[in-house]
Amino acid sequence: MNSPTIQFELVSPEKKLFSGKAVMVTLPGTEGDLGVLGGHAPLISTLRVGVIGVYENDVAVANRLYLVAGGLVEIQPERCTALAEDATPLDQIKRETLEADLRKAREVLSIAQEAEKEALHAKIVLLEKKLDVFTQASAH
């Protein structure tokens, strides 16, 4: 039996990362993870830092994984659109790069002017969350 599909789009400010049919999409909602199948009830939610999984063939294996840094998702019975603040295919992320970016941000914070510290602290928190999510997703 074929599962009904849903049209899914993942868009960041820079580009459209995915547009196509999926049998299921998993999303990191701020109130908990969402699993979206064709026929899902309409819903709008914010997204937290986490991984979006796109299941193109069956619900057992995600064909594509994206690390997102928050955003919004609109779900309709026949389509799902995620607008991510930042999104990167998980297979294009290197742990070493995340760790180096985090080290550099901490170094800059230690010598930053007071006016810059709040933005740098927010960047550090985001990098820490990305590294944590990446570590968890890579373990599976």
Q: Are residues 35 and 49 in contact, defined by beta-carbon separation less than 8 angstroms? A: no
- Residue tagged 């309709």 (tokens): 76
Query: Given a cut of 60, is residue 1 above it in pLDDT?
Result: no
What does pTM read for this prediction?
0.84
**CA distances (Å), 112 to each of 105, 121, 125, 129, in order?**
10, 11, 16, 22
Domain that includes residue 98, residue range: 94-138
Domain count for the chain, please give it: 2
Rounded Cα distance between 27 and 7, Å, is 14
pLDDT of residue 134: 84
Instruction: Establish if 102 belongs to a structural domain.
Output: yes
Instruction: Establish if 15 belongs to a structural domain.
Output: yes
Q: Over the stretch 98-114, which tens digit does the pLDDT of each residue have?
A: 999 999 999 998 898 98
Band of pLDDT at residue 41, cut at 50, 70 and 90 = very high
- Side chain identity, residue 106: R
Work out the number of other CB atoms within 10 angstroms of the CB of residue 100: 11
Instruction: Establish if 1 belongs to a structural domain.
Output: no
